[in-house]
Structure 1
Amino acid sequence: MATHMRRTLLVLHRATSSSLKNAEASLDVRHPVPLFLPIRTKKRYFIPPAIGIKGKSGGYTEDKARAAGIVYRQEYFERPINIACTAGIFDPYIPPEGDARLSTLSKEGLKQRTEQIRQSAASQLAIRKIKEHDSDFSTKNFAEKAQEIFIEAHNVLTQFNKEKLHSLVTERCYPEMTRGNRYKTIRWKFVESLEPPRVVHARCPDMVTKGNLYGQVTVRMHSKQTLAIYDRFGRLMLGSEEQPKDVLEYLVIERHLVNPYGQWRLHGKIVPSWAPSKDPIIKTVIIPGPDLKPGEEFDALNYEVPKPAAVQWSK
C-alpha cells in the first residue's frame, strides 16, 4: 500500500513540475537567484522627513501631524516684559532752541521763560502724584540728587562694575551705556558745574494697569566734563583727558512709584534737534607689514609703507 501511494505521488510531482516548466518557457519568465520574498512589516503612519528636504518640499506641517495622530504643540511667540522700568520716555521734554546761550534779560530769553511757565501745569500735577508715593521728593533737592546719580553712574562705567551700574541705571539705559565698550578704555571726569541743576519737566505715566505708576523727572544739567576713549591697543579714539568741554544735558530720572523699595535711576537723555553733531571717532587701521621668514627680524627704520596703486574709474 505504501509503495502504491509513493508511486502516485511521484507521478503527480513530475506532472506538476513539467507543467510549470512549460509555462515558464512559454512566458519567458526568469526568477533572480537567490529569490527574496518580501515580508510585510508594521505599518508606519508617520515617517520624519530626511535631512535637506525641508527647504525643498513643503516640509512638516500641522495637518500631517494631526493625520498621524501626533499632538502638535502650539507655539507662542512671547516677549519678556520688565515692569521695573518703562520702555521709553513718555511725553519727552522739548528743550528751547538756544538754551544756555540766551540770557533771561534778552527778549528771546523772556519768551522762552514764559513758555516754560505755561507748560509747567502738567508737571505740577505729576509732581503731586510723585509726592503721594515719595514723601521725601522735592524739586530743589532732587536736582542735586540726580546730578550725583549721573556722576556715580559714569564713574562706575569707567570701572566696568556691572552690579553697581544696574542699581544706578534702568534696564533701558544699561545697554545704551555699555554697548560697544567691551574692548575699550574710558576715562571720564566731572570737572565743575557751570549752572546749578534744576528740574524742568515731570511726568507720572502708568503701564500695564492704571495704578502701576512711574515717575519720570527731567533735570537740566550744564557742566564741564572730560572724556577720552581708547581702543584695545591704547590709541585715542575720541576726546581728550586734558581739555574739558561744556556739556548741556537733559537727564531723565525714573522710579517705580508703586514699589516701596524702588530707587531713582538714570533712564535716558534727551538730545535736542538743534544740538551740534558729535566729533567723529578715529578708528585704527592695520598697516600691512612685510612677510618675514622664520628667524628674520623686522627693521622699522628701513621699511617703507606701501602706497595703494592708483585706480582709474570709468564713468
Structure 2
Amino acid sequence: MALPMRRTLVSLHRATCLCLTNAEASLGLRHPVYVPVRTKKRYFIPPAAGIKQRTEGNMEAKSRAAGLVMRQEFSERPINIACTAGVFDPYIPPEGDARLSTLSKEGLKQRTEQIRQSAASQLAIRKIKEHDTLFKTKDFAVRAQEIFTEAHHALIQFNKVKLHSLVTERCYPEMTRGNRYKTIHWRFIESLEPPRVVHARCPDMVSKGNLYGQVTVRMHSKQTLAVYDRFGRLMLGSEETPKDVLEYLVIERHLVNPYGLWRLHGKIVPSWAPAKDPIVKTVMIPGPKLRVDQEFDAVNYEVPKPAAVQWSK
C-alpha cells in the first residue's frame, strides 16, 4: 500500500516541476546572474563623537564588561626591610655628659629618667639575646668601635662594597653625600674612655615579630679629620691637630634574619653639643685674558676689587 502511494507522489512532483519550467520558458523569464566586482578597500574609522565624555572610569568599566583585565598601576614607595627608617626611642644624653647631684631637682629628674631607660633597655637586651646568643654588652661595645673605624676607613678609600656591609641603607647616603669631589683623611688615634652600651631597643616593623635590634654605644676617643676639595685646598679640620670627640653611635641588626649583621645605623647628636667648625669653600677668581703667546704671572697680578655700590633704602 505504501509503495503505490510513494510512486504516485513522485510522479505528481515531476509533473508539477515540468509545468513550472514550461511556464517560465513561455513567459521568457530568466534567473539573474551575480558577478563579483572588486572595489577599493575601506578601513573602519571609529567615530570621534563622545571623546570628552570618555573617562578612565568609563573605559575601565567598558573593558571589564568586555572581559578585558586591565593592569592596575600603584605609585607606592619601595620598602627596605633590611633596616629601619630611623631611630626608635632615641637615647637622650644628659647635659654635659655628667651626673648631677641627686639632691637637686634636676639631678633627681635625670636619675629617674635613667632608671626608666635602663629598665626598658634590659627588656630589649633579653629579646636580642633570644635571637643572638653571642650578644654581650661588654664585648658588643668593643665590636661597635671596630665597626665604626672600619666603616670610616672604607669611606676614605671609596670602597662601596665594604661600606655597604658595615653601614645600613639609611646611614650610607648620609656618609657619602657631598664627598664625590673631595679627599678625606681620617685617623683614629686612641680611646680616652672604654666604650659602653648606654641604650638598647628592640622594635618591630611592618608586622608583629619582625624584630630589629638597636643598641646605642657611647664612645669617647681622639681623632683627626681633614677634608680637601678637588683642587687640593683644605676645607675642614687638620691632619696634625687631634680632637677629643664624644659620640653616641646607634648599631642596628635585623634579628629575624639569620644572616643579619650589626651595622652602623646613625649617630645621636645632643642639643648641648658644640657647633661644628664652618667649612671653608673655595671660589674662582677671574684672571686676565691672555693671548696664546703670553704666560700668567701670579706674582705681579693684582686681584681686582669689586666696585662700590650705593644701596638705596
TM-score range, shorter chain: 0.7 to 0.9
1:201 pairs with 189, 199, 202, which one?
A: 199
Secondary structure of the residue aligned to 2:138 is: helix
Cα deviation for residue 162 of structure 1 reads 0.3
Equivalent residue, structure 2, for 1:287: 285
Residue deviations 1:204-253 (CA, integer Å, cap 9, x gap): 00011111100000001111111000000000000001111111110000
Q: Which residue number in structure 2 is paired with residue 155 of structure 1?
A: 153
Q: What residue is the counterpart of 1:210 in the other structure? A: 208
Normalized against structure 1, the TM-score is what? 0.77
2:96 — aligned with what?
98
Residue 191 (structure 1) shift: 1.1
* In 2, Cα distance between equivalents of 1:94 and 1:191: 27
**Residues 97, 306 of structure 1: alpha-carbon distance in 2 compared, 3 angstrom cutoff:** same
Q: Partner of 1:164: helix, strand, or coil? A: helix
Q: Distance in 2 between matches of 1:247 and 1:43?
A: 76
Preserved CA contact (<8 Å) 1:228 1:238: yes
Distance, in Å, in 1 between the alignment partners of 2:43 and 2:133 is 79
Distance 2:118 2:43 in 1: 83
Displacement of 1:126:
0.2
Shift in Å at residue 295 of structure 1? 2.0
Aligned to 1:308: 306
Stretches of structure 1 that go unaligned for 5 or more consecutive residues are: 1-38, 50-57
Kept after mapping to 1: 8 A contact 2:252/2:263: yes
Pick aligned residue for 2:78 from 77, 80, 101: 80
- Contact kept, 8 Å, 2:102 with 2:111, in 1: the verdict is no
Amino acid at match of 1:302: N
State the 1:113 CA deviation. Answer: 5.2
Counterparts in 2 of 1:232-243, with a 5 A limit? 232-243=230-241
From 125, 128, 145, give the equivalent of 2:126.
Answer: 128
TM-score normalised by the chain length of structure 2 = 0.77
The code of the aligned residue for 2:45 comes to K
Q: Distance in 2 between matches of 1:174 and 1:141?
A: 25
Q: How many residues align?
A: 265
User: What residue identity is the alignment partner of 2:243?
Assistant: K
SS of residue matched to 1:98: helix
The equivalent of 1:254 in structure 2 is 252
Q: Return 5+ residue gaps in structure 2 as ranges.
A: 1-40
Instruction: Note the alpha carbon deviations across 1:88-107, whole angstroms, 9 max, x for none.
Output: 100100111111xx367896
Q: Counterpart amino acid of 1:306?
A: P
Give how far 1:68 is off: 9.6
Residue identity opposite 1:270 in structure 2: I
Aligned counterpart, 2:219: 221
- Of residues 296-305 and 237-246 in structure 1, the stretch that sits farther from structure 2 once superposed is 296-305
What's the CA shift string for 1:246-272, capped at 9, x where partnerless?
Answer: 111100000111111111000000011
Question: 1:142 aligned to 135, 140, 143, which one?
Answer: 140
Matched residue, 2:45: 43
Once residues 228 and 130 of structure 1 are traced to their aligned partners in structure 2, the CA distance between those partners, rounded to angstroms, is: 38
Identical amino acids, percent of aligned pairs: 78
1:241–1:113 Cα change, 3 Å: farther
